[in-house]
Structure 1
């Protein structure tokens, strides 16, 4: 019996279900590949945070970059989530999905003046500034609009999150934030510029952390800096600690301890008199989603066995980009004691990198069989593309015994409408 990481996915009479809906029914109605999310899974992930931080002065702002589907955002918004955005497009999605402007934080190292103006005009909660040039640009925009910009300055604490190098964001060689040693200079400049209200301080060391030790190092270092800045007259009332809790992708991975995370925060910054903002993304949506795919061919080569599926790297890029692991299970539950044979699970894109798993022990799989890539609700559809002129993957949300297509699969004709033929090439 496969153990699924959150409520929402389970076998019923030998068929994998999302809550009360058979995945076979979704495949028949919507086709494959398709992302399937469960309301039950999203709610369980939210409650893990809400329970751990009950009684603490904490705001939880969902990081939209993990999954920016409007229905997913709306589900979390109805539970109480704010939004952490890194583009004006994400900000507009957060607003369209029902997150109030006053609960939105705008992060990111390369905000344009147009984006800064849009954020100020919308009246969002806070802009996290990541460089001295951004301070100057925001000041100019704020003065032009006649709006005081509420800001936090993101500090780079030079703490290794001990995670994948491409998602490690708090080391001195990373592009994010202002060097710890220059924090005082940054706040002095912010206080001297018109149109800026430096109310907070921000830090984010990376994602997919499964232990609290790096958090404690970063937050402890930040706490000392906050005390120094307050003593020098900086009116700090907010601390943004970023996201970072990971999820178990493999059965042997330790599940994150939300209560230990809450204790780490309370014991490092809890006595500073500042309201805390958290920006979880992956841990709210990853396990609540899977990628449903259908086997096209089973190819037995001289040295390898290949399961060729209709999902590809353009639909789920994490294995190709991060060497990421996703558990893969058949939708039809294998018989107890079914023999396992190693196989490479690959997509149809014309690149060797279009490989989801190598030498993965799998039960018998035949052409036409449905498979599910688990823990795929984060950085799956959000990072999908139309590489090889493949249509964007569809998305479905399940609630109880109901399901709805929350992003349809575009037709080829839809994709052509985005392009135009120059006059000189017209027939």
Structure 2
């Protein structure tokens, strides 16, 4: 993380400086902390009426409902009984929330370092049934930014619940003088129905266990008693972990450094199998057959300068190797349905490929006029989130067709 931030700040400063005639200022991504009192944080979970979304995050599907994360603020509940006309039901206020997972009508959500358990069996009368405090010990999510304005936080009485990131013009000399302080802060399924998240998820339920990854740890919970999860021993898993994907008895962790593969044959104690290193970039991973599909997003504080799709041969789990790669613009989430590969390429839209021959991906369509973040390929439809809009598509033989677009504002 230290090396990553140094590289980005120097590059941004030099590039932006060249663009300004006076040569003294540059544009930086500045993250300002969002805080609340400790007392308010402990009483911050509530179920309220639907409201406009502030910043759309991850999506999750359970039965006829779609859950959309409102970054650091909570979860929007949407009735999707009629995909052509989805309806907002409620908003679950959860301070510091970015991830959820659901099994058997129990919703598990992070609230910074706490794990919340909610009963959603009555969707119009959701109940909080449990709160496990300080079990997600390294769960603070750091945004992509050049500068973190952390001065002025009263750590004895306040808690950091999120970040507001904006582009601001700053004196290059002042930014350079604060490198050291900035760097140290940054270091600082069985017969019960289980929902489905997108490729950017950090929560994953496999049978009677919930796996929640933070920057370097797999947090393991026994949820055989759905209302009362048991916090088990954490497993150290590497550095800069961002996402988790499951296939059979294996977990695939996407990190800024590469992909880690873990064996969960003994589910309470995930065991390291191997890793695939790809340098330094932000990425999720999905797996299909003998291949793992990894998107790498450059041009940010992850360190990479180029973006792309990496296809990794995992036929031998102990020795994953790169099979091929393709250039992308700014990819985020991705998903697979049969031979269709869906890639959310940020502002470049949704790209659809036939992946029958991985050495020669065939473009089926490119929806260019939308901003995309993540997708969930369901059996009957594709669900996608991006730019505060929820899109749903039906599958065609060699394409998809829009069912509805719901503005969440």
Q: TM-score, normalised by structure 2?
A: 0.27
* Structure number with higher strand proportion: 2
Higher helix share: 1
What TM-score comes out, normalization by structure 1 length?
0.26
Larger Rg: 1
